[in-house]
Amino acid sequence: MLGRLNHIAIAVPDLEAASNTYRSDLGADVSEPLPQPDHGVTVVFVTLPNTKIELITPLGDASPIRGFLDKNPSGGIHHMCYEVEDILAARDQLKARGLRVLGDGEPKIGAHGKPVLFLHPKDLFGTLVELEQA
């Protein structure tokens, strides 16, 4: 069911500083900030030869990652994103196996313009997992 690792998301308190670190200190290709109002975050993608790093910061006070940064003020790994061929089929298979899909269970359009879903971290060993339609 799982395809390739699409990205690892790192929540950061200062998106500009984190972007500069990856760009200047680590020599990475870093995108421009991309606000995602439907998800309550602003993202920057760091492109690597084999995957991406997604730097995320809250967009507004109601952001779902605000609580994460309150608990982890320096930031940290927030979630991992895997590609799936058919997001609805993957959702249905996982729900049938007892895994919980966050929200209303319907995919939303993510930062790559593709449907995404999130799976409950308590079902996956404390890791928030995002599934993205390949």
8 A C-beta contact, residue 112 and residue 51: no
The tens digit of pLDDT for each residue in 25-58 reads 999 999 999 999 989 999 999 999 999 999 999 9
Q: Annotated catalytic sites, by residue? A: 130
Report all structural domains of the chain as residue ranges with CATH numbers, in order of start: 2-133 (3.10.180.10)
Hey, what amino acid is at 100?
R
| DSSP structure class, residue 103 | T
φ, ψ for residue 49 (rounded to 5)? -60, -30
| DSSP structure class, residue 72 | -
The tens digit of pLDDT for each residue in 70-113 reads 999 999 999 999 999 999 999 999 999 999 999 999 999 999 89
8 A C-beta contact, residue 40 and residue 56: no
What is the per-residue pLDDT for 38? 87
pLDDT exceeds 90 at position 61 = no
Give the DSSP letter string of 10-67. Answer: EE-S-HHHHHHIIIIIS--EEPPPEEETTTTEEEEEEE-SS-EEEEEEESSTT-TTHH
Give the three-class secondary structure for 117.
strand
- Taking the model in full, what pTM does it have? 0.93
CA dist 33 and 12 (Å) reads 13
In sequence order, the β-bridge partners of residue 8 are 53, 80
